[in-house]
Amino acid sequence: MGVHLDDEVLLLGSCSKSVTRLDPATRDAKYYFDDGDCVFRVEDTLFRVHRFLLQRDGSAFADMFSLPRGASASHTLEGSDDANPIRLFGDSAENFRALLSVLYALPHELSSLEGDAENILHLLTIASMTHKYHFSSISNWAISSAHRVLKTAYEEPDKNSSVVSYPVLSRTLEVALRCAHIDLTLLTQVEWVTRILARVLHPRRALAIADAHGLQLLAGAAYYVQLLEMGDGFQDPRDIAHDPNASGDDSPDSDTSAAQDDGDLPPLTETQRRRLLSGHWSLVRLWEHIRARAPTFQRPDGCTYHARGCLSTWATVWAEVARSEDTLKLAPADVLSRLKAMQTQLAGHTDLQQALTPACRTRALSAVKELVKETMEGLADHFVDFAAATRSPARDTVGDTVVTDE
């Protein structure tokens, strides 16, 4: 028999007469209780536990235990002893042990999970397992606790370096999506994007996850930095470095390499390469549009010579700074860096300080800051697979909050 759980299926063992002989299994050191009334086998481990704990909180086990399970002379009731356990497929013994840990936990043990970032992977496993088996209130507690723990840990990443590593970020995002916890999903994306933009984590690892789940914020930053890493030759220097036929002169500059996770990077797919190509073309076009037109701002009270004075000077200075050496030395597709270079130059430009009213200058610089934000927010829209778009005009998007690397 089987119990369906969303897209997953909990497969249960059959009665002893109908199954082949099982390989030997060992009793779990912690969760095999002599007075337990139900035996489970997960992988090669036996767990003898108390049925009433598994039936709480409207769980899937409550439904399972309510199904007819009558025994007869020729059939032994499954779950009754070690020789006839209920078999769970699709889970590891470690994960099932994590589920039992929260069901048997004392209050102080639950409190310790909420206060220590070192326990985050265990807490995420609890959230995932309780969600899978429909322990609704426990799952909500676990995923909300993970959000609180990580929100605090992300504020001091140097003290909690493990939680901002690729394995933990990807696991966190996976569980947050599974549990449909919007705040944790966004929080994890923001942290991952911040580290991608800072070149601490390599963007390529984020591409598949972002594409699979339509995560616009993560996808935009990952594709953008991946494009910049590839340079004019449209090849990632790490691929060249790991190519035995490549020249040593083409090895990546350590100053531009992602520091933590260069090893065993997944190869770019053809779809990802097409998106990168379209992104380069689209971003170069975007820059041509940006440099040709200064961002506008509303006339503040007290500016009596706005159109021919402040706006005219603003447009002239904008065009000048857009073609300055400090701006153009950056890659044509690196629109964000070019805009930030312009921000720095405009903030100290003498003509703006002298010719614009203080209120107009403030609004002009704010307009540039808003343009940077809008550009960052719209990055994912540039990396479109045009071949797929022509086959399927409809395109799903997920709105996200913007984050910059300021």
Dist. CA 260–CA 162, nearest whole Å:
11
81-95, 109-123, 131-145, 278-292: segment of lowest average pLDDT: 109-123
Assign residue 185 a region (left: φ > 0; alpha: ψ between -120 and 50; beta: otherwise).
Answer: alpha
Q: Which amino acid is at 175?
A: V
Residue 298 binned pLDDT confidence (cut-offs 50, 70, 90): confident
Question: Is the predicted pLDDT of residue 237 greater than 90, yes or no?
Answer: no
Residue carrying the six token digits 């890659």: 331
Whole-number mean pLDDT of the chain? 85
Report pLDDT for 79: 85
Dist. CA 78–CA 76, nearest whole Å:
6
3-state DSSP assignment of residue 325: helix
Dist. CA 110–CA 129, nearest whole Å:
16
Residue 160 binned pLDDT confidence (cut-offs 50, 70, 90): confident
Q: For residue 232, with 0-12 CB atoms within 10 Å meaning exposed, 13-18 middle and 19 or more buried, which class applies?
A: exposed
32-36, 65-69, 145-149: segment of lowest average pLDDT: 65-69
Question: Is the predicted pLDDT of residue 13 greater than 70, yes or no?
Answer: no
Report pLDDT for 22: 61
Q: Is the pTM of this model over 0.85?
A: no
Dist. CA 270–CA 276, nearest whole Å:
10
Which residue, among 113, 159, 268, has the nearest Cα to 203 in the 3D structure? 268
Higher pLDDT, 65 or 140: 140
Q: What ranges in 155-269 are assigned the alpha helix state H?
A: 166-178, 182-197, 204-213, 216-230, 237-241
64-73, 125-134, 342-351: segment of lowest average pLDDT: 64-73
